[in-house]
Chain A
Amino acid sequence: MTTPNEARPTSRSGNGIKLTLAWLAVGVPLLWGVVETLRKAMALFA
């Protein structure tokens, strides 16, 4: 069963904005975590 609201086709640009926001929401914190960890890991090579 699909609700009328959800069944409505999404435009290509609408999808693009959603995709960008969704990936930014998870990508930015993850990237920050990786950079912070790499900075600490540099001590191993110092």
Chain B
Amino acid sequence: MAGLLSKERTIAGPGFTRWLIPPCALATHLCIGQAYALSVFNLPMTRQLGVTHSIPGDWRLTELGWIFTIAIFVLGASAALFGKWVQAVGPRKSGFVAALCWGIGFLVGALGIKTHQLWLVYLGYGVIGGCGLGIGYITPVSTLISWFPDRRGMSTGMAIMGFGGGALIASPLSDFLMRHFATPTSTGVVQTWIVLGIVYLLFMMGGAFGYRVPPDGWKPAGWVPPPEKAKTLITQHNVTPGDAVKTPQFWLLWVVLCFNVTAGIGVLGQASAMIQEMFKGRIAPSAAAGFVGLLSIFNMGGRFGWASLSDKIGRKATYMCFFAIGTAMYALVPLTGKIGSPALFVACFCVIISMYGGGFATIPAYLSDVFGTKYVSAVHGRLLTAWSAAGVLGPVLVNYIRQFQIDHGIPKNQAYNITMYIMAVLLVIGFFANLVVKPVAERYHERTVPVGGPGDRRVTV
């Protein structure tokens, strides 16, 4: 088995088409993207004991909220921790491990739900599944960039689009399975988690065994790497993960990702309540649910669309668009409430969320431009700690400031205004952080002794 998973066994033979790689990446990301749909289990899990209604001893929503929080935190931590390993062992082995973690995470979680041990659910879905999320998220990045050096943004955007799309599949699928398994004495959640765990395990395994890496020196037919100019951000050099974190560029991009995600993630979690409170009496709960669905589609579409556009206009310009347009949109949202225009409100948030997704999808290509392609998975893994930070910062900003406003007598329909302006300020900071990103100083470049030259050991010095 070890041999079967080795990187050497995944080197593509002649005639292999690179267009087989994106479906493998999608197979991984469509499964782990289920994390965004975890909330469909919230209400059924609050009545695991009572089945039809909550009874004393049943879990509370606040306790269940920690499952997602732990999973996202472990995602960032494991991506940072295992990034170098993922890069070293190749996509098949890391995809295999991610599949095991994600599948087993569900099964352990199901055991926790069945025995009503919440710590077991935290351990299963949150910790074990969270490792599957982190490892699975960065697994295809380096491979895709190696196969598509001419379309880095589009290729990684396609994979990361899968993470957004995973929720679109998981939400109706979970709903269907729970209704199928529900009985007068069961909510059907346990059985649903078992089925999801097995299906995801198999699907991700299929993706893992489909991965191939290009042979050394491979490049697309007719493609010539663009010449490296003094002022361009695209480098032909490589920076090791250890050195990357010592550069100002890494931390500037950390701020760029963190603030772009913070601005979107807080809104995503509160979208349904926000539209209903800002347009009280005009938006029914079903319409609010429709709004959340629409945001999911823009989240997914933005990942592919913006990342593909970044191949044409450059990563820096793409993030400039996110921050400039995003600032304008956030500043406009309070006005939509003032003039009572839900249509304009919806339009603003669709654009904002498309750029939230676009930010995630464009960052791997940005990293490969700035730090080189060789260690991009490992560097990307370390940068994903920005996501963990944003996962805390975004919801805190939205929820606590809203509550503070309400406690101080501000009407509910205006309680989000200050938050929107704070989000706009965050995006302005992100704009300037992105603006000052410059090529990495030469002293950080990995130096290799010329092949065949004196002292050729091909080592990092």
Contacts and interface: CB of A to CB of B under 8 A. Distances in A.
A22 B291 contact: no
Given A7-B14, A44-B290, A34 B297 contact: yes
Contact of A25 (B23, B167, B173, B300): B23
Interface string A1-29: 11100111111000100110011011001
Contact of B11 (A6, A22, A26, A37): A6
Contacts of A34: 165, 168, 297, 300
B287 A33 contact: no
Contacts of A26: 23, 26-27, 30, 162
Contact of B215 (A2, A30, A46): A2
Nearest to A10: B15
Main secondary structure of the interface of B (DSSP, over half): helix
Contacts of B19: 19
Given A6-B12, A22-B20, A30 B293 contact: no
A29 B169 contact: yes
A38 B11 contact: no
A23 B30 CA distance: 13
Interface residues of A, number: 31
Contact of B23 (A9, A22, A46): A22
Given A25-B27, A38-B293, A38-B297, A19 B168 contact: no
B15 A37 contact: no
A40 B296 CA distance: 12
A37 B210 contact: no
Nearest to A26: B26
A8 B13 contact: yes
Interface in B283-297: 284, 286-291, 293-294, 296-297
B20 A18 contact: yes
Given A26-B30, A38-B297, A44-B290, A1 B20 contact: no
B346 interface: yes
Contacts of A1: 8-9, 11
B204 to A, nearest CB: 12
Contacts of B286: 43
Given A3-B9, A30-B26, A36 B172 contact: yes
Given A18-B20, A22-B23, A37 B287 contact: no
A11 B17 CA distance: 11
A42 B290 contact: yes
By CB atoms of chain A within 10 A, which of B24, B169, B170, B288 has the most?
B169
Interface of B: 8-9, 11-17, 19-20, 23-24, 26-27, 30, 162, 165, 167-173, 206, 210, 212, 215, 284, 286-291, 293-294, 296-297, 300, 346
Interface of A: 1-3, 6-11, 15, 18-19, 22-23, 25-26, 29-30, 32-34, 36-38, 40-46
20 contacts: A2-B8, A2-B13, A6-B12, A6-B212, A9-B14, A10-B14, A10-B15, A15-B20, A19-B19, A19-B20, A23-B23, A26-B26, A26-B27, A32-B169, A33-B167, A33-B168, A34-B300, A36-B171, A36-B172, A37-B294
Given A2-B13, A25-B27, A37-B293, 12 more contacts: A2-B8, A6-B11, A6-B12, A6-B13, A9-B15, A22-B20, A22-B24, A25-B206, A37-B294, A40-B290, A42-B290, A45-B290
Sorted nearest first, the 5 A-B pairs with minimum C-beta distance are A33-B168, A44-B290, A33-B169, A22-B23, A43-B290
